[in-house]
Amino acid sequence: MQLPDDTTLTTQGMTPDHATGRVLLLACGALAREILDLIKLNNWSHMDLTCLPAIFHIHPEKITPAVREAVKKHRDAYDQIFVVYADCGTGGLLQQACDDLGVEMIAGPHCYSFFEGNDRFAEISEDEFTAFYLTDFLVRQFDAFIIKPMGLDRHPELRDMYFGNYEKLVYQAQTDDAALTEKAKACADRLGLDFERRFTGYGDLGTALAEL
């Protein structure tokens, strides 16, 4: 599932202008499915979701200005805005922007960390610096977000230059989906990497949203 740019979903069809006590989740489009699943699972009817383009995953310089603009656009309609981005390659700029704007954001260096659990990821990261991570979203969108941006569809001979220093592909599974697991294995084969599946569920994402 990919949402159009800056798409707001209201969980009860209630317009934000007539709502009180509502929380806007301003999120990376790559997290849309997981956030909607958590909202439905927990009946968090006070939460709305708006997503910025998932392609910012590979253009982190676009994240901070887009978040600033979106917060300013929506803040008058909500009691609270929570930014569902980790640092995501912004080098601390996103955290600074959130501090300036008076909004909170999810903790962690990137989504791989908070899906694993930030504490757990910090423990294992030293031993996994040769691991390449995929989430459910990135398995589904492997060609669009990995193969094509790296030019591997046109120049497959570049694979070893890009991935020669990696040893394994770690699939962080948010859901127990046999078809996605098979696709993740195929992704590992395509990159010439060993395969490991690790069921993380929603990790710290679920915890952070529950605290709202």
Residue 20 has what pLDDT? 65
Tokens of 124: 């294992």
Model confidence at 15, pLDDT cuts 50, 70, 90, reads very low
Ranges of beta strands (E only) in the chain are 7-10, 23-28, 47-52, 80-84, 104-105, 131-134, 168-173, 194-199
Would the pTM count as exceeding 0.85?
yes
The residues, ordered by sequence, that sit 6+ positions from 155 with a Cβ below 8 Å of its Cβ are none
pLDDT at residue 67 greater than cutoff 70: yes
User: Chain-wide mean pLDDT for the chain?
Assistant: 92
* pLDDT tens-digit series, residues 169-189: 999 999 999 999 999 999 999
Q: Tell me the CATH architecture of domain 7-106.
A: 3-Layer(aba) Sandwich (3.40)
For residues 67 and 94, is the Cβ–Cβ distance under 8 A? yes
What string of DSSP letters covers 162-178? HHTT--EEEEEESS--H
Residue 168 has what pLDDT? 98
- Distance (Å, whole) CA 139 – CA 136: 5
- Distance (Å, whole) CA 199 – CA 203: 10
Tokens of 63: 């994240």
Helices assigned H by DSSP within 93-135: 93-101, 111-116, 118-124
Every domain of the chain with CATH number 3.40.50 lies at: 7-106
* pLDDT tens-digit series, residues 101-143: 999 999 999 999 999 999 999 999 889 999 999 999 999 999 9
Q: Could you count the other beta carbons within 10 Å of the beta carbon of residue 63?
A: 23
